[in-house]
Structure formats: C-alpha cells, structure tokens
Structure 1
Amino acid sequence: MPADRHDMAAWNGRIDPEPDSPRWHQRIQALAGDSQPGVALLGFACDEGVRRNHGRVGAASAPLAMRKALANLAWHRQEPAYDAGDVLCADGDLEGAQACLGEQVCALLDAGHLPIVLGGGHEVAFGSWQGIAEHLSGQPAPRIGIINFDAHFDLRDPAHVHSSGTPFAQIAEDCAARGWPFAYACLGISRASNTRALFRRAAELQVLVREDREIREASLAAIGAELDAFVAGCDAVYLTIDIDVLPACEAPGVSAPAARGVSLALLEPLLEGIRDSGKLRLADLAELNPEHDIDSRTAKVAARLIHLLTL
C-alpha cells in the first residue's frame, strides 16, 4: 500500500506582484528520491479509526483541505518543503494503512526530512509511531517523547478494537514489548470527556497531564517549563495535535467538538518551545473533519499550525 503521489493540484493561489512575496503554493515541490532534506508533508486519508470509535466520519478528506488552506499562506522558510503524497485506507484496512504510514514516515526520517503527517483520525498516531520507532530502532532503548495536545487521552483498551481512541495505549504496549520507556505528555485534557478509568490508566503510565482548564495565560510559563524538562529527558520528540483540543468556536470542523478547549493563542507559545527545542523529529495533525467545517475555519487553523511548526 504505497503512498499515492499527490497531483499537486491543491497547491494554487494568489501570486503577488511585489518581489520577495512567495506563498506556499509557489515553493512546495513534489517529493523526489533525490530531494534535499526539508519538511515533508504526508497525508493520511483515513477515518476508519473514528468510525470504529463511533465518531462522526469525514477526516479522510482532511489532507486535501489542509493543503488547500496552506497553499495561500506566506512562505517564510529558507529550506525546502515537499508534498510526499497520501497514504490511503482501503476497504477498512486500518492496520494496513497504519503500517504503510509507518514505512513512509521511516523512509522520510531516514532521508533527513522532518515529516508532518496530515491526518486523518487520531489513529494516525500509531502509524506515525511505527515510523519513528523503526527509524530509531538501532539505538538501545531510545526515549521518544510523545507530546499530545488533545481533549482526550486516547488510552482506551486496544484489546477490544483498534480505533482513534486507542493509539497511545497501543504505543505503550509496543514500548513494553520492546523494553523501551513510554514517555507521554497529554495537554488539554477535558475531564468531562475522559472517564475515571482513563485517568487511572494515565496515572499508571505516569503520563504528564494538564487539563484544559489548567492552561491559561497565567500558567503558560510554568507549563512551558514542564514541557522543557520533559523534552530535555528525551532523545527525540514526536508531536501530535488533535485539533479537537481547540474550542469549538475556533475549530468547529472536527470529529468531536470541544465545549471548552484550549485557545490557539495559548497553544502557540507551547508549540514554539517544542519546535525550537532541537529535538522535534516528527509531527502530525489529526481529526480535522471538513464535512463539518464552517467557512474552512478549522482547516485554516490547521494550516496556521503547520506554518508555525515549519518557520
């Protein structure tokens, strides 16, 4: 199940007459075998995990929506960016799609790129994990820090069914099987949306947890320092952003809109610290659902997050 090469048709937009005014659609290139290291956008066109988790489907069309929203944003990068195509989920074969995503992510990491995966439901996380785990598998027990901005732990018991609600429990099991540490930080958690069993599971796994109500202007410096310490103890960082961490008024087009959430203005400083840490190796964005978006509002938020992470 190789990644389908994107036809680049989504990459179009405004062209300004002034010199030095490029936009993303004028600079992004189709990935080639001899491409120099840069940012590589890889789509994961899948919402089978959301369907299995009884959520509202539609996230499979998110990679295209993110590309369209990003295309017209101003280009401020010095290094290149590439479109690496899409991994598709055919006939409900979530596990096959995740394995394919892992292979593609590993290949991008091996080639020196910074992969940014455009999900898809949050089942994307287990595929992303497989890629970075394979890339670092030659190291003895690497400590891969997973930082998840999300209203949900996604630590449900994977023994019943693999879905968008189980990826980090699956990762914890994979780490245990490999003899690797499981280092997981989850910020933006909604107490109303996570059962006591999930909070207990997070405590057992020693997850760094910050609830949505804890993330406010007055606490940003302290939470940023916590994240700095978390990152300092890791060999590499995998960042995953479930867009439903944002309030529904800022991100209405998601699989599970948040009644409260964490505003973009509060997320951005924390993301900048992770970006600038020197340890970020992989990022993905999940749960954008264009079928329920309003005026592409959520797609524009996702594009801004990609823009922020790639400055």
Structure 2
Amino acid sequence: MTTATTAVDRAPDPWTGRDDGHGPGNLRWHHAVGLDEDRAGPCEVAFVGFRSDEGVRRNKGRPGAADGPRALRGALASMALPAPVRALDVGDVEVGDGDLEDGQHRLGRAVASLVDGGRLVVVLGGGHEVAYGSYLGLADSRALREGGRLGVLNLDAHFDLRDDARPSSGTPFLQMARSEEERGRRLNYRVLGVSQPSNTERLFHTADELGVRYLADTECGPLDVERVDAFLDEFLAGCDVVHLSIDLDVLPAGAAPGVSAPAAYGVQMEVVERVCTKVAASRKLAVCDVAELNPQLDIDHRTARAGARLIHRIVTCTRTPVRPA
C-alpha cells in the first residue's frame, strides 16, 4: 500500500513554539500537528515539504529555497489557532542529487495519497518547480480519475511557462499544460499578479496560445477587489478541484524580500489574503503549495511569516476535508 511517508526522504521534526498552557483557549499550531501517518486518524490538513533548489538553479535564480520548508514550519508553529485543527506532517521530499524529476514524482505520490485520504494538502516549497510535483499528485488522485474538473490558480509575478529543454522553476505550468493535453484535456490555468516587466512577449504569447487567463499586478490593487472577485468567481465556477500555487514573489519586496526575484511592484498582502480566503471558502481546494521562500535572503523572517500567515488563513477558512476518504 502506498502512503505519503513511503515517498518522503526526511521524517518530520517535532513542531515547537510558544506555549501559554493547556486548554482550547491556548491552542497554537505546534499543538495541532501530529507526525505519525499511521496513528493520525482523520485529519483536516496534511503538510509535506519539498526541499529543492534544483529548479531555481536551472532557471539561473538564487538558490536557498531548499530551506523554505523548515522556515515556514518555524513561522507557523507559534501562530494561535481560533479553534482546534487536526493536522499531520509527513516530512520532506529532498532533491539533493540534482534529480529534480525523480523528486517531483516522489512528491506526486505523497500528494496523491494524502488527497485520497480526504486531507487538504499544503506543500511547503522549495522553488516553484514544486508546483509540477503537486500537479502530478492531483492528476493521479481519485478526484480527477473520477472526472473532477481541475483548476490551477497561480499567485505569481511570472507565468512560469518557459519552454526550456530541462524542466526548472520556470517551466512547471507549461509541463502541466502538456500533460493535460496528453490526457485529452485542456489545462484551466489562471495567474493573478503577473508583472509585465518580468515576462517576455514570448511568454505572453505562450499564455495566449494556451488560453491562460490572467490579471496583471497593476490590476490587483486594494481598489480593484471587484475585478479580482469576478476573476476568481469565474475561475471557481469552472472547476471542481483546485490547485492553488503561491509564489511568494507575488508580494511586494517589502513584505517578501526573501525570494529569488523580489517584486518591485507586487500585489499587496491584503489582496493576496483575500484571494486565498475566497479559494479556501469554496471548499474546492485540494492542494496548496507555497514556493520560493529563501531564508538566506529573508529580513526579520518577513517572507516566512507572510507565507505562514497565508497558510494559516487558508486552513482556518477551509476547516473541513476537501473530499471524503
């Protein structure tokens, strides 16, 4: 029998953090996370880390995102919970030998097992190559095998549709599109926060050819919430199972300095959190991955705290399994 723990390389470390005492009024994340899949029982959310710099390295970015899972766990651990949450951490898939493709497939096996167990899966990246591994898991999940319509929403300054000879952090969504074509489907892919100066005309052309819908960062300000909501409503109406991919470089550099490519403009945290809340509240979210946190480049743990805040918001807004076991 395939379980998530058979696909990971590193067992999870215990979650630790501030402790104000026992009782439901003092709950924090580190109280809620179990580490044993066999004993976890019914859980609302499962964490799996993807320790990879290989995709960023191939994409000529600044390595360091392999330490992102540890930093995200550390930032989340002491956050206070408004109500009990049952969570599982199965550990990390590690890409340490340059074999990115093998790591993505192992992540996919872990994700598929957890999704089929009725859990919302939060994948802690890693470079944005994590998104293709998450997709492989969803593509092999029971929900899609039984005909569920997949929707992929990327919060990102970049399309990540590069047509490169070797897969990287810049190629995952083109890989998804080609994989969906092989399965006789068209990828329902949307991007919120695209930065025009960060994407060549060739990438915009590729997006148009694939039917990608997107909003530019300049169209996602605090005064544009009606436009953003309409964009999300149309997306959510067209799918049954959602893969939400959050590249932290969608945020302004002041909020997320610890990424490979900090944003000169970016989408404000209040808007990104509103998007995450709306997607989580739809009850269609199956997998969320958080990518590109590079602790070596972070300042005062701002980027780690921003990513952890978004994870916290998503889980506390979902609160129920996406699909029954």
TM above 0.5, yes or no, is: yes
1:232 and 2:237 matched: yes
Q: 1:85 aligns to what?
A: 91
Instruction: State the one-letter code of the partner of 1:104.
Output: A
After superposition, the C-alpha distances for 1:59-107 in whole angstroms (9 at most, x for unaligned) are 0010000011111100224330111100011310000000000000000
After superposition, the C-alpha distances for 1:16-54 in whole angstroms (9 at most, x for unaligned) are 148511111122111412421320010000010000000
Q: Secondary structure at the match of 1:50?
A: helix
1:223 and 2:193 matched: no
Alignment of 1:60-71 (within 5 A): 60-71=66-77
Asked if structure 2 preserves the Cα contact closer than 8 Å seen for 1:119 and 1:284, the reply is: yes
Consecutive unaligned residues in structure 2, runs of 5 or more: 1-5, 317-325
Deviation of 1:181 (Å): 2.2
Instruction: State the one-letter code of the partner of 2:247.
Output: D
Instruction: State the one-letter code of the partner of 2:263.
Output: A
Asked if structure 2 preserves the Cα contact closer than 8 Å seen for 1:77 and 1:310, the reply is: no
Instruction: State the one-letter code of the partner of 2:159.
Output: F
1:46 and 2:46 matched: no
Q: 2:173 aligns to what?
A: 168
Alignment of 1:70-149 (within 5 A): 70-135=76-141, 136-140=143-147, 142-149=148-155
Instruction: State the one-letter code of the partner of 1:13.
Output: G
Asked if structure 2 preserves the Cα contact closer than 8 Å seen for 1:248 and 1:258, the reply is: yes
Q: 1:25 aligns to what?
A: 30
1:250 and 2:255 matched: yes
Alignment of 1:272-291 (within 5 A): 272-291=277-296
Instruction: Output the TM-score relative to the length of structure 2.
Output: 0.92
Q: 2:43 aligns to what?
A: 37
Asked if structure 2 preserves the Cα contact closer than 8 Å seen for 1:145 and 1:235, the reply is: yes
Q: 1:179 aligns to what?
A: 184
Q: Percent identity?
A: 48
Q: Secondary structure at the match of 1:310?
A: helix
- Measure, in 2, the Cα distance between the counterparts of 1:44 and 1:199: 29
Residues 233, 133 of structure 1: alpha-carbon distance in 2 compared, 3 angstrom cutoff: same
- Measure, in 2, the Cα distance between the counterparts of 1:114 and 1:21: 24
Aligned counterpart in structure 2 of residue 58 of structure 1, from 64, 79, 97: 64
Deviation of 1:2 (Å): 2.5
Q: Which moved more, 1:224-233 or 1:44-53?
A: 224-233
Residues 18, 2 of structure 1: alpha-carbon distance in 2 compared, 3 angstrom cutoff: closer
Deviation of 1:137 (Å): 4.5
Deviation of 1:154 (Å): 0.1
- Measure, in 2, the Cα distance between the counterparts of 1:8 and 1:52: 29
Deviation of 1:269 (Å): 1.1
- Measure, in 2, the Cα distance between the counterparts of 1:4 and 1:161: 24
Instruction: State the one-letter code of the partner of 2:18.
Output: R
Q: Secondary structure at the match of 1:186?
A: strand
Instruction: Output the TM-score relative to the length of structure 1.
Output: 0.96
- Measure, in 1, the Cα distance between the counterparts of 2:156 and 2:10: 30
- RMSD over aligned CA atoms reads 1.4
Q: 2:16 aligns to what?
A: 12
Deviation of 1:4 (Å): 3.1
Instruction: State the one-letter code of the partner of 2:95.
Output: C
